[in-house]
A and B are shown apart, each in its own frame.
Chain A
Amino acid sequence: MNASVAPDPMLPQPWRVQAVRRETADVVSLDLVPLAGAPMPFKPGQFNMLYAFGIGEVPVSLSGDPADASRFVHTVRAVGAVSGAIAAATPGTVLGLRGPFGSAWPVAAAAGHDILIIAGGLGLAPLRPAIYHVLANSERFGRIAVLYGSRGPAELLFHDELARWRGRLDMEVEITVDHADPSWHGRVGVVPGLIDKVAFDPKNTVALVCGPEVMIRFTVAGLRAAGVADDHVHVSMERNMKCAVGLCGHCQFGPDFVCKDGAVLAYDRIAARLAAREI
């Protein structure tokens, strides 16, 4: 920790947008640096609250390399007033930032296992720090596979990196889209259909899953069918968040506060709740 850590977790600190990369038609990645001090360390899977002056604040997961201490990278989709304002930021724009908050992908505990990293849509963004970590420490893991699906080819995030990862010999990358025209030469189908396309030992595999809740449910069903135990599956949950520190009550999911007990939660812990309605 350093001087840029606010004593009051409710107070945003000013951070400047250093660079903007357009990922898709409505998704951008922002590089952020603090006006004062240096970025704090973060763990893969954690998020920050980003504030657009006068408009409001939303949780956005960190999507950059946890080993890069020079900046925070956030990948934002413009879906509402606040995320729209944040996604419209240009280099020089100052945003408010609180964080990092939340639990982390259990990358250390996954060492020694085959690791399946399964993402749907924007869910690749919170998993990318885990991928960076795993690839930087690939000797600690068994087989490494990234399974990724999106709505269509135009909605795939991080094209260049996906291409680079596909070229690596120490990992498998399988990509699918829900819909495509024949100019797309890759797979068409849903993410759970990718599980049997890669090699892993189900008895010794840790799976990290992030995407829309429906995609998570079907993917976990596919992992179960493949023989991966529920306690080796970790998912990232999404709920309404206002404070990010367990004080406002909005993100409750059964006994858990998604903001501080999650967003990453072990599937065996939440399986019954995911199966019930409107929890």
Chain B
Amino acid sequence: METLERLLLGHPFFTDLDPAIGRILVGCARNLRFAPGEFLFRENEPANEFFLVREGNVALELHVPGRPPLVIGTLGAGEIVGASWLVPPYRWNFDARAVAATRAFGIDAACLRDKCEADHHLGYEMMKRLLPVMVGRMQAARQQLLDVYGHPGT
């Protein structure tokens, strides 16, 4: 437990986190390994876990009938995977597939939501860490939409 707490708080997402909050969070966390090709989650499944990648590489994919899946982003060591666990109806919007052997922490979503609800200090701390990542992803997605390298006029 002590080791998991130390490792969890060592993840960049939790940089400078109040150790007291860390002790609360670790109760919801577990260590995970994914082989290449293995899914962390798939579209429309219940979003019941929040992932923090320790090493490896995870592709977010959108399944399109009749053609190969579209990779909309890749996430690696130090990054977090998944936001759907935060907002009802708590179902994944994409597939997340390990591209390489991947190690991650999983934090049980219901457990984490309950703790945020019960302790708004903890909840606000989580919000301050999650929101910049989400805004950054949204901005990156907008840049991808621009297709800046595409043929002009097409």
Contact = CB atoms under 8 A, between A and B. Distances in A.
A211 B148 contact: yes
Interface residues of B, number: 27
B140 A189 contact: yes
B70 A181 contact: yes
Given A182-B61, A212-B148, A214-B148, A190 B143 contact: yes
Given A79-B151, A79-B152, A182 B143 contact: no
Interface stretch (B71-79, B84-92, B101-109, B118-126): B71-79
B97 A182 contact: yes
A180 interface: yes
Nearest to B69: A182
Contacts of B72: 179, 188
Contacts of A193: 140
Q: How large is the interface on A (under 10, 10 to 19, 20 to 34, 35 or more residues)?
A: 20 to 34
Most chain-A CB neighbours within 10 Å: which of B99, B147, B148?
A: B148
A150 B147 CA distance: 10
A237 B154 CA distance: 22
A155 interface: yes
B71 A184 contact: yes
A149 B59 CA distance: 17
A120 B57 CA distance: 22
A181 B140 contact: no
A238 B148 CA distance: 14
B146 interface: yes
A182 B149 contact: no
A82 to B, nearest CB: 15
Contact of A151 (B67, B74, B97, B150): B150
Contact of B74 (A79, A150, A189, A218): A189
A178 interface: yes
A180 B143 contact: no
Nearest to B136: A193
B68 A182 contact: yes
Interface in A162-216: 176, 178-190, 192-193, 197, 211-212, 214-215
Interface of A: 26, 79, 120-122, 149-151, 155, 176, 178-190, 192-193, 197, 211-212, 214-215, 218
19 contacts: A79-B152, A121-B149, A150-B149, A151-B147, A178-B148, A179-B71, A182-B68, A182-B97, A187-B57, A188-B72, A188-B74, A190-B143, A192-B140, A197-B76, A211-B149, A212-B148, A212-B149, A214-B143, A215-B148
